[in-house]
Amino acid sequence: PPSPEDLPADAVLLARNLGPGEILEYGRGRLRGIALEEGSSASHAAIVARALNIPLVANVRGLIHLAEIDDPIVIDGDVGRVLLRPDGAVSAAYREKIILRAQEEAQFRTLRDKPALTKDGAKISLQMNAGLLTDLPSIDECGAEGVGLYRTELQYLVNDRAPRRDKQTMLYGQVLEAAGDRPVVFRTLDMGGDKQLPFLKGAAEENPALGWRAIRIALDRPKLFRMQLQALVRASGGRALLVMFPMVAEAAEYERARELLEIERDRAEREGREPPAIMKVGAMLETPALAFAPDRFFERVDFVSVGGNDLAQFFFAADRGNQRVAARYDMLNCSYLRLLRLIVARCEGAGTPLSFCGEMAGRPMEALSLTALGFRSLSMRPAGIGPVKRALRAIDLSQLAELLNEVLQGDADCARNAVGRFCREHDIPL
């Protein structure tokens, strides 16, 4: 394949499959779209592409064989469609769609400085996901209240070796500086599965999504983990430091990781370095097991962020990287919503701050459903904030909460039809 530097202007890349690190490399060039013969629109690679605002469509069988260099092509990431050699009418229709999208984005910018306040007075905090320093200007452009998820692993994916501590410290400090007085939640290394570190190869695994990844790697490789924790503590420079650990399955994993972070904070103070003014330590709830952790976990943890993408993967036993099953289960499935409602209740009972992070949060109908369940903080890609804010400002949330409660008490398999009908009847823009 061509190197990122060799791509022509307005290039579309066709490949059998790409990993998140490769998407990052190509995303630095002049890439306008990606079509993959394999993979899934729910994979980490697809999420990275969306974060870079690059349309990606996966599972397009036989495309490489059919396409030729310099062929015109349309990549419609909204609906997962690839049109090879479109005729003039189709091209004109998509040019019109691009114009309408620009007008809609201009409308969203008028909401940038307005709160996500529902008609009945519920205040929702909308935050953005990020993973690169270049993402931070979006915090002003989209009107996010902070960074609800900073993916620290992206810095590792584009390096052949672990970034040095001073380099990590500099990056994290620049992120905090760019965010100003808005909070940034740093997620520690979330590696493994389809995000493999080039310098940390483990044994081949039949089920990598369920294997050696995330907090498990961190606790098994404490030297690598502690280097990152040291960098985070040093970068805080007397500012607030918010850290969360990924894919925690049981309370003991959180406690051990938190202990290591507190050791590094105390060490920095002994060395005469300025410690964080405030340090909050949270966990991503991505495994169903953690939803049933003992009460002491929810009382001890400073905050919980539901990682909706992986939680759905494990809940439905559906590999998010496998297109045959990844899109089979609706995120408004009533069983999944009941699990989310349980998590809300457990956090409310313990007085633990709770947020939801994932693709679901950035889609208006799903975001409305999450807030109706009780979530008051959502983190999403920057492009999702405008549409979600517009929908929230148009709704009486208590009415939707009442409807959703009735649906979940009944025997429906999915709430999508009921929520969609409610939105149409109340003129909620989706």
Which amino acids are annotated catalytic?
44, 357
| φ, ψ of residue 41 in degrees (nearest 5) | -70, -10
| φ, ψ of residue 342 in degrees (nearest 5) | -60, -45
- Token pair for residue 266? 């105390």
